[in-house]
Amino acid sequence: MGLIHTLLFTLIALGVLVTIHEWGHYWVARRCGVRVLRFSVGFGKPLLLWKGKDQTEYAIAAIPLGGYVRMLDEREGEVPPEWKSHAFNNKPVLQRIAIVAAGPLVNLAFAVLAYWFLFVWGTQVVIPKIGDVRPGSPAALAGLQAGEEIRSVDGFPVQSWDQVNLRLARHLGESSVLVIEAAEPGRSTRSYTLALNNWVVDLERESPVTAMGFQPWRPQIEPVLGSLLADGRAVAAGLQTGDRVLSVNQETVTSWLDLVERVQASPEQPMLWWVERQGRQLELEVVPAGREEQGVVTGFIGAGVQSGEWPDEMLREIRYGPFTALKMGFEKTGQMISLTLDSIRKMIMGVISVKNLSGPITIAKVAGDSAASGLETFISFLAYLSISLGILNLLPIPMLDGGHLMYYMVELIRGKPVSEQVQLLGVKIGMFLLFSLMALALINDLARL
């Protein structure tokens, strides 16, 4: 069921975003008088194919990793004289620019609407209260303390850890001064200055928040088993969901984190557990399996914690009226566009590792996980993925929309098209760059597995 769930919501996510992207090209092309021959969601052999009243073929193809709008074009085949005025290549350059730019811009517009919906619907977030500060970290050196709630980062108000993360992410690789305002309950806000010196974060291992030295406040999690892997050591030892762990090796277990630390420290070592099950106490021997992470072997038993609840005072609902929500939707989209472009720049400069590139496997996993977390999380994922798709297609790489826009801008300035030889060379360079990026992203995906 897990694999089916992941594949289903991956197809939904890609289907929605590809469809609106291609619809942008299609809609503007039709308004410019260009005849559209085929509108396809997916590549390869069509699974479904039908012709509309406008004589356009509509297709759903077998490979769901993109799509295309095929327009009448003299460069791709002979065009009857009566249809020459409806060919894409015969349209003024400004119309061709509008047609090509429409796809990515519709993706960005979709993100605005998605965020607008979330702000109107209302989202529940966890208040950014500090649970602990790591000694020696930038946060500790600045004087931030456990129990304080972060109110702003660099002058921008924040209401959740997600917003704090986004603001901190802008400082990756920088040597600068960061100002954070925080306050304890019932006390006035205090300002803290954090000095950053070439601040580098391994985003595969930690978030900007934890790298800065913050440990978000979390409620005490009871050591109760909530999920078990069928082939894990926990099941092999006779553990069941709902079991409450009382002690390990005759030492009382105080929390889930306490239990996790004991298991991780005991790979392939027998452990004597006392658990409470339906009012009875049982003694079980559990032997954690060992796995290597970052050169260190840690224990694991294939068990997950039973989900707990956050206290009401730690939750905050973010909701706006329709007009304010639209403004916030534009602002949120603009922030994500800025962060995406900044991340690309820093990756090119080597500040952020290319290991952070993600491919189809990671996208599928996140799609499934976000859908399992609820409608709000899935829509937020769609908005972010739509922004990424829009920005990627606007990059000046031949074969992408941005590459075509680059040629048309040159044509607009020079007054004549870029030569076919230059365009052919650009296609070869573009194919090399795209396939290299795809291969690197896939390698990263497999490494994460």
Count other Cβ atoms within 10 Å, centred on residue 217: 19
Q: How far apart are CA 277 and CA 238, in angstroms?
A: 12
Q: Is 22 a catalytic residue?
A: yes
Q: Give the 3-state secondary structure of 1-49.
A: CHHHHHHHHHHHHHHHHHHHHHHHHHHHHHHCCCCEEEEEEEEEEEEEE
| Spatial contact of 267 and 297, defined as CB atoms under 8 Å apart | yes
Give me the catalytic one of 22, 148, 149, 181: 22
Closest CA to 253 of 230, 286, 278, 227: 286
Catalytically active residues are 22
